Amino acid sequence: MSYPNSQNYDNGPCPSSHPVHMISIFYEIHYDTALFKDQWNGTQHPFVFSNGDATGYGLHGDFLNGWDVAVLQNAVDTCNASSGSVEECLAVSQFSVAESQQCQIPATVKEETGGVLQKLPGCNTVTRGPDRAPAPPCTDDAIFGANSPNFVDLTLSKHWAYAGCGRDDIGDRAFRNGSTGSDDMTVKSCVDFCVEKGMPYAGLEFGRECFCAERLDPRYAPRDGIMGSCNYKCAGDTAQTCGGYAAMSIYHNCEGEAECKNWDINTVSAQAASLARKHARQLSM
């Protein structure tokens, strides 16, 4: 491997000893330091990485290659546009931002990855160097284990089942048969609201909004094999998930059905097919 001959790392000329231009990854992080301008101590900034490093030298980035090897090789061999634009590379297809946001897997480890932490995890002591970080007795009470699912099981108590994470559009609502919102919203309160409306579908969104529907529009229905971007905590119970940004945690009345079962990404194919048939019947009525 070799760097380009010029200072232009992105598209500078290759040296004759290494004539093949390789794909590169540009990794950039921006910090909004102005928000913390009152927290500086002279020339000492207030920022600390999660490993206790207050100098900034501990930052690094990791890249995991998930490409299909044959597809990537074809792109390397055939995508030679000088612009470097992905749109000019016919060997690959692009997903929209919304599709990319929905492409998630269930969190398997119980770990806080959003919001503000009260302390650094793992007994990491803030160290400004040059001495090594001290190793005091660890009293961290953080407990890691299996993560809870992103739905509430109402199959036995109410005969309602989680149908998956669907989409919504503020300009063309997916659920139109009643809505409410509150700062004490929970999955149960939303389902109860839709039961009172006589509607078989309930959808939670933005953490505090609840929508009801008579039918599930296939355009917004949960997709086969797609977990979706339902990751907002319920306003009334942070242990529960209440949809997301333009994403709905959908529950449906399964009373009287042969199987009242919650959505599971591992068995989604059969469930999605069953829901698709049900949606088709509803639209033909």
Secondary structure of the chain in HEC code, one letter for each residue: CCCCCCCCCCCCCCCCCCCCCCCCCCCCCCCCHHHHHHHCECCECCCCCCCCECCCCCCCCCCCCCCCHHHHHHHHHHCCCCCCCHHHCCCCCCCCHHHHHHCCCCCCECCCCCCCCCCCCCCCCCECCCCCCCCCCCCCCCCCCECCCCCCCCCCCCCEEEEEEEECCCCCCCCCCCEEECCCCCHHHHHHHHHHCCCCEEEEECCCEEEEECCCCCCCCCCCCCCCCCCCEECCEEEEECCECCEEEEEEECCCCCCCCCCCHHHHHHHHHHHHHHHHHHHHC
* pLDDT given at position 277: 52
In this prediction, residue 272 has a pLDDT band, given cuts at 50, 70 and 90, of very low
- The string of pLDDT tens digits covering residues 27-61 is 888 888 889 989 998 888 888 887 888 888 888 88
Q: What is the pTM of this model?
A: 0.65
Mean pLDDT of the chain: 84
Residue 269 pLDDT more than 50?
no
**Position 284 confidence tier, pLDDT thresholds 50, 70, 90:** very low
The residue ranking higher by pLDDT, 95 or 166, is 166
pLDDT confidence of residue 182:
96
Q: Where are the domains of the chain?
A: 160-284
Angle at 271 between CA 227 and CA 225, to 5 degrees: 30
Average pLDDT of the residues in 72-84: 85
Is 4 or 10 the better-scoring residue by pLDDT?
4
Mean pLDDT, range 158-186, rounded to an integer:
94
Which comes out higher in pLDDT, residue 213 or 277? 213
